Chains A and B, each alone.
Chain A
């Protein structure tokens, strides 16, 4: 025991002390390096996950865009078929109204089609590539039963040619006796005949 703390003993142990110190430094270095590497891997992994997520989001967005375009294309085709992008064909409307009047057995029918105008939309909304045009149509009709009038209005607004949203209607019972074959209801309705026109590029 005494021998260890002699000059000779210390000299003999010096390489071992140095080796021990080096080993401790190397161990600490390995631990620090491992920790740094682990953190770097974690950061890389998080970055990769974020990039994958962003790529997935972009892919989902592109898919949604594609689906929306498909849907829009279908709707657009229907709009074109229904003549939304064509000029008004007033003769067609005159014939349609006459045809529906006969089908729904209206007693009397009067209508007025106002001059076409640029339709002002709620909230002042405007579109960059199209102008929304409309002609206000006012219909006054008399029928035996309110069902005939409602069927006429419904058929007109659902016709496969054109768009005619009915925005107001007044249905009134007339004074004629209930058991008589005279009109019992009259109607006064207004609707918009809507078309779109592509804006001319300056």
Chain B
């Protein structure tokens, strides 16, 4: 009996649920109507550096300026997602959230600010930590940048970004 109860208490009782995570995230997103979620890859793990698998999606309308991707991002490794992977106690919930942000055409500064604000708002939620993994426009000097302006100005643009969110389970939880 003791072993069964001990296993339940240590491994199952406090195991995180994606719904709790999604509800907390939704509450923050309510205050950011310009942000549209396209993908959420969530994982319960004991490794705070784990990378949930995600394939980048294309925005419906490409922004006039975009950074060219360096290389295809690595998906989650087979060792941690394979059928024989060890079962974690779910100490961390890690999510990569892909979304688009709507802003006036060419207002990349505004888009970057919106995303930074969103990450800061998520980090204010108890136990959450968010960082911008891919910003709406990668302006680092190591990346190639491409601009393309047509005759028509659609007035608004949608830029893609990715956030990494880590939620650490509290000991008393």
Do A and B assemble together?
Answer: yes
Q: Which residues of chain A are near B170, meaning CB under 8 Å?
A: none
Interface string of A111-143 (1 = CB under 8 A from B): 000100101111001011110101010000000
Decide yes or no whether B4 CB sits under 8 A from chain A.
yes
In-complex Cβ contact of B42 among A117, A165, A169, A192 (8 A): A169
Q: Which residues of chain A are near B5, meaning CB under 8 Å?
A: 72, 75-76, 79
A75–B11 Cα distance when bound, in Å, is 14
Residues of chain B in range 40-74 having any CB-CB distance to chain A below 8 Å: 40-46, 52-54, 57
Decide yes or no whether B39 CB sits under 8 A from chain A.
yes
Decide yes or no whether B139 CB sits under 8 A from chain A.
no
Residues of chain B in range 70-110 having any CB-CB distance to chain A below 8 Å: 76, 81, 83-90
A154–B22 Cα distance when bound, in Å, is 11
Decide yes or no whether B38 CB sits under 8 A from chain A.
yes
Interface string of B1-19 (1 = CB under 8 A from A): 1111111111110010111
Interface size on B, residues (CB 8 A): 41
Decide yes or no whether A173 CB sits under 8 A from chain B.
yes
Closest chain A residue, CB of each to CB of B6: A127
Q: Which residues of chain A are near B17, meaning CB under 8 Å?
A: 154, 157, 166
Asked if B44 and A168 make an inter-chain contact with CB atoms under 8 angstroms apart, the answer reads yes
A150–B88 Cα distance when bound, in Å, is 21
Asked if B39 and A127 make an inter-chain contact with CB atoms under 8 angstroms apart, the answer reads no
Q: Which residues of chain B are near A166, meaning CB under 8 Å?
A: 17-18, 44
Q: Which residues of chain B are near A190, meaning CB under 8 Å?
A: 81
Decide yes or no whether B28 CB sits under 8 A from chain A.
no
Q: Which residues of chain B are near A144, meaning CB under 8 Å?
A: none
Nearest Cβ in chain A — how far from B94, in angstroms? 10
A154–B15 Cα distance when bound, in Å, is 13
Nearest Cβ in chain B — how far from A26, in angstroms? 67
Decide yes or no whether B37 CB sits under 8 A from chain A.
yes
Asked if B38 and A76 make an inter-chain contact with CB atoms under 8 angstroms apart, the answer reads no
Asked if B90 and A84 make an inter-chain contact with CB atoms under 8 angstroms apart, the answer reads no
Residues of chain B in range 110-154 having any CB-CB distance to chain A below 8 Å: none
User: Given A72-B1, A154-B19, A173-B37, A163–B43 Cβ distance below 8 Å?
Assistant: no
Closest chain B residue, CB of each to CB of A135: B83
Nearest Cβ in chain B — how far from A169, in angstroms? 5
Q: List 22 A-B contacts (CB under 8 A).
A: A75-B9, A76-B4, A120-B85, A122-B89, A132-B7, A132-B87, A153-B19, A165-B44, A166-B17, A166-B44, A167-B43, A168-B43, A168-B81, A169-B42, A170-B53, A171-B39, A171-B42, A172-B57, A173-B38, A173-B39, A190-B81, A196-B4
